[in-house]
Amino acid sequence: YFGQDLLSRVRLAPVERISNPGFFGSLPNLGVPVPWDFSAEPGLSVVDTIVMSRSLIAEDAWVSVLFEECVHIQQFQTLGVSRLVSRYVNTLFSNGFDYRNLPMEQQARELRMRFDAGLEAFSVEQVVETALLKGAI
């Protein structure tokens, strides 16, 4: 599913619960809705680090959540930080701050479902690159 290069870069940071960034509290005063509640999420990926919320992940779901978060790490690696953040933020604004419907989030969930279903192994890197070329993410 993932290349050795990606797997050697990934860092895992388990925490009891993921905290919301401090600036989220000021967003409504700026007329910007809070896009999501990090504390309700089982995982969060940034560049090469996956933060996983121990309190929100059932013992039998760790590998599944880790897989989905590794898809996001692959997206970071393929797009680069600037391009990923730019696409993510622009799409977030254009879809009414519904982050669950962002193409990168949808892709990660769909690939996780394929993984969970035990279907034939596939290259996440190839899937991400193909989607990028098609303008799907």
What's the half-sphere exposure (Cβ side, CA atoms, 13 Å) at 72? Answer: 20
Q: Would the CA dihedral through 12, 13, 14, 18 be positive or negative? A: negative
Average pLDDT over every residue of 4-20: 96
What pLDDT band is residue 53 in, cutting at 50, 70 and 90? very high
C-alpha distance from residue 69 to each of 56, 86, 132 (Å): 14, 19, 18
Q: Is the pLDDT of residue 96 over 90?
A: no
Q: pTM of this prediction?
A: 0.92
The stretch 4-13 carries a mean pLDDT of 96
**Percent of the chain predicted with pLDDT > 70:** 100
d(CA 102, CA 85): 12
